[in-house]
Amino acid sequence: MRLFLLVIAILAGSVTASAQTTRKPTKIPSTVPVKQTGVEANGGSVEGRTYTNKTFGFSLSVPENWFIAGPDFESVIKEKGYDLRADDIAGKANRNIKILMTAFSAGPDVGRNAILRITAEDLRPNPQIKDAVDYFDAMTAAFMSAKLPSDFSYSTTKAERLGGNQYAYLDTASSSGKKRLYATVRKGYAIMFTFSYADRSDLEDLRNVLSSTDFSVK
């Protein structure tokens, strides 16, 4: 239950998790230095626009107009008025959560740039969760029992096959923006793709990424 209380705090916006501005930046820089040391801690590596994680057994490539964040991503976007602290706070507060990778789209309108955060959740403390549908059903059950901000809404758990991969997903919306959460359960972990976006075209980019994600990496 501790996990889902953290997730509620993140998604409902009690801690700023999406691309909100504290001042009016002009544009996220077109490139942010990419260094493998930024993702190596949890088994990942980066080559060009491709992220690979042999620990969790998957690999994906981001579109040409996206960038995989390097270790100084947080400091760079904070200078531009962004705050992504919530995922990091959740990761530090719950040792079962591992932050694997962050990527973002670059465009002329900073308020419409999309941000993807990939996390892995150890499900051993929650043996009743067998698949991604169970994972999101448990999350929405926590939503129903929690006191949520009046502007926060969420969908029912849905499932979607993208390419050869099966995912469960959930949509949320609040004054902080829209999010699409996709998840799949692999090797006893829930791999979650939390996507903050404004444009439907960015959501289609994400669906294409997940369609071609390779979960056979060893």
* More confident position, 113 or 1: 113
**Residue 218 included in any domain:** no
**Residue 48 included in any domain:** yes
The pLDDT-based confidence of 143 (bands split at 50, 70, 90) is confident
**Residue 46 included in any domain:** yes
Average model confidence (pLDDT) for the chain? 78
pLDDT at residue 112, as a whole number:
75
pTM over 0.85: no
For 25, the 3-state DSSP assignment is coil
**Residue 217 included in any domain:** no
- Looking at residue 111, the DSSP 8-state letter turns out to be G
pLDDT digits (tens, 9 = 90+) for 62-112: 998 888 877 666 665 566 555 554 444 344 445 678 889 989 887 666 567
pLDDT at residue 97, as a whole number:
85
Q: Which domain holds residue 91?
A: 2-211
pLDDT at residue 217, as a whole number:
95
**Residue 64 included in any domain:** yes
**Residue 121 included in any domain:** yes
Average pLDDT over residues 17-36: 39
CB atoms within 10 A of CB 217: 14
pLDDT digits (tens, 9 = 90+) for 172-185: 998 878 999 999 99
Q: How far is CA 205 from CA 13, 61, 115, in A?
A: 24, 11, 12
Average pLDDT over residues 147-153: 87
pLDDT at residue 145, as a whole number:
85
Contact 4, 96 (CB under 8 A): no
CA–CA separation, 134 vs 140, rounded Å? 10
pLDDT at residue 6, as a whole number:
47
Contact 43, 55 (CB under 8 A): yes
CA–CA separation, 159 vs 137, rounded Å? 12
Q: How far is CA 130 from CA 2, 39, 65, in A?
A: 18, 27, 35
Contact 123, 129 (CB under 8 A): yes
The count of structural domains within the chain is 1
**Residue 216 included in any domain:** no
Percent above pLDDT 70 for the chain: 69
The pLDDT-based confidence of 215 (bands split at 50, 70, 90) is very high
